[in-house]
Structure 1
Amino acid sequence: MNNSIINASVTMQGLQQKLDVLANNMANVNTVGYKKKEASFENVLTNTMNQPQGFMKTGRMTSLGLPQGWGAKLVGLQNIMTQGSLKPTDEPYDLAIEGDGLFEVTIPGSNTPAWTRDGALKLSAYNKVDPATGAVTKAMGLATKDGYFVKDTASNQPIEIAIDPADPTLQNSRVRVDEQGRVVVYNEANPASTGRQVGQIKLVKVINPQLLGEADGNYFRLPANVAQNNVFAANTDGVTVKQGFLEQSNVDLQQEMSELVMIQRAFQLNSRAISSADTMMGLANNLRG
């Protein structure tokens, strides 16, 4: 009976963690670029209870011993990187990724990169440092709502959206982004013009998303003991950018609700198992008394 209580209580702890994961997924159903999480469980421990030799009768097919489990525990969260639907916005700074890719962004005040599928970008000012002189000037770049700037493939620095009123090419400037992530500034009065390329958005292709860790907000990071070449491919084949679109969350609310009902039912059954075991222990104590 003590074993039943331990088994049920340990399982209830795991079920509560699963409920937390489902609640987080449901809370982010409308978050741009959010990727749902799934919980993985394993048995805490399995052993065999010894039985007296008297149970070994002629013709018995199974060996002596009663298999016994001790519940299940959460061992990790899986990042489900399936493609979310693309919603048209016609906003020039809204970008969506098609394929197994991520935007690489720089965190202000840190040399540690982060990655995201959230392409709801905006023009924002940042401090540009001249590597030769160390001089700091103000520049404009593409940033997420949290102020994380999208990196340039070549320089590995924020893409500078240079708008120079003295340059006829850049007067009344607008930004165009092609499928390879090349950022071009052009004159609004002449949309067909070639314009001037100011950078290329740095994309990475994910080959092992389960090694990605969570960062604050809707971002991923690499744990300290994981190398980038174990997570990202050497190229970005099959990864494209769509300007004027935002990727929606890949959370299926109906599926999450169905799982929520099942988990709540399992939680209830384990709670009843504890109550039943407690009642039986009370009866046994009364009989001995």
Structure 2
Amino acid sequence: MLRSLYSGISGMRGFQTKLDVISNNIANVNTIGFKAGRVMFSDILSQTLSGVTAPEDGVRGGVNPKQVGLGSQVAAIDTLHTGGSAMTTGVNSDLRIDGNGFFAVQDPAGNVYYTRAGNFTVDASYQLVTPQGFLVLGADGAPITLEDTVESFSIGKDGTIIQVLNDGTLNTDLQVGVARVRNPGGLEKIGNSLYRL
């Protein structure tokens, strides 16, 4: 009797976790760079009540073992790193990655994080930053800082930043970096559409 109750309880706990993950997915449907989660379940081992018996004389066959399942458990909560929908914003510092990869960003303490959210801005120091103020890293691994004499800029499909300086010259020395992660499922989700290795 109690075993069947425990099986039901383990199932309810698992589905509560699944409901929590689905609720989080729905709550963040409009969050830039958010990646949905998915719950994976596994069986808890079964308990054998009686083993296999051989056929007795005059009987056609033996008896199969009797087992009782002990329920299910949450095996993992995966993050689905699929591409989001494209949206035109008209802001030249808003970026989107087609395919695999992450933008590398750095917090004030020097810690590097990864994000798929490309809603960047330029701060008062001419640095490309996230909404949290984290520095966007270039292809060389250094923070991206525009020239202080920049009049305007655009970013090409390959991430090259084309700066038009106030003397009319072009500068194409900077490029937005895209980090390739071998196992995106191994990234730790830390909030604000940020991940760390």
Q: TM-score with structure 2 length normalisation?
A: 0.89
Q: Give me the identity figure in percent.
A: 28
2: distance between equivalents of 1:28 and 1:55? 60
1: distance between equivalents of 2:161 and 2:190? 27
Q: Does 1:35 align with 2:35?
A: yes
The code of the aligned residue for 2:170 comes to G
1: distance between equivalents of 2:119 and 2:174? 18
Larger Rg: 1
Partner of 1:158: 143
2: distance between equivalents of 1:140 and 1:62? 78
- 1:61 positional shift: 5.6
Among 185, 195, 204, the alignment partner of 2:170 is 195
Partner of 2:153: 175
Q: Equivalent residue of 2:8, what SS?
A: helix
CA shift in 2, pair 1:31/1:55, >3 Å: farther
Q: Does 1:58 align with 2:81?
A: no
The code of the aligned residue for 1:60 comes to G
2: distance between equivalents of 1:37 and 1:181? 29
Deviations for 1:73-124, whole angstroms, at most 9, x for unmatched residues? Answer: 11211121222110111111111111111101111113x3110010111112
Q: Does 1:20 align with 2:5?
A: no
| 1:1-289 equivalent positions in 2, closer than 5 A | 1-50=1-50, 58-60=59-61, 62-63=63-64, 65-110=65-110, 112-125=111-124, 139-154=125-140, 156-164=141-149, 170=150, 173-187=151-165, 195-222=170-197
1: distance between equivalents of 2:97 and 2:77? 23
- 1:59 positional shift: 2.5
1: distance between equivalents of 2:91 and 2:121? 10
More helix per residue: 1 or 2? 1
- 1:198 positional shift: 4.2
Q: CA RMSD in A?
A: 2.4
2: distance between equivalents of 1:76 and 1:196? 47
Higher relative CO (Cα under 8 Å, sequence separation at least 6) belongs to: 1
CA shift in 2, pair 1:60/1:122, >3 Å: same
- 1:55 positional shift: 9.9
Structure 2: which 5+ runs fail to align? none
CA shift in 2, pair 1:163/1:52, >3 Å: closer
2: distance between equivalents of 1:185 and 1:208? 35
Structure 1: which 5+ runs fail to align? 126-138, 165-169, 223-289
1: distance between equivalents of 2:52 and 2:157? 72
CA shift in 2, pair 1:62/1:183, >3 Å: farther
1: distance between equivalents of 2:146 and 2:131? 17
2: distance between equivalents of 1:44 and 1:211? 24
2: distance between equivalents of 1:54 and 1:101? 59
CA shift in 2, pair 1:50/1:95, >3 Å: same
Q: Equivalent residue of 2:78, what SS?
A: strand
- 1:18 positional shift: 0.6
The code of the aligned residue for 1:178 comes to G
Q: Which moved more, 1:113-122 or 1:176-185?
A: 176-185
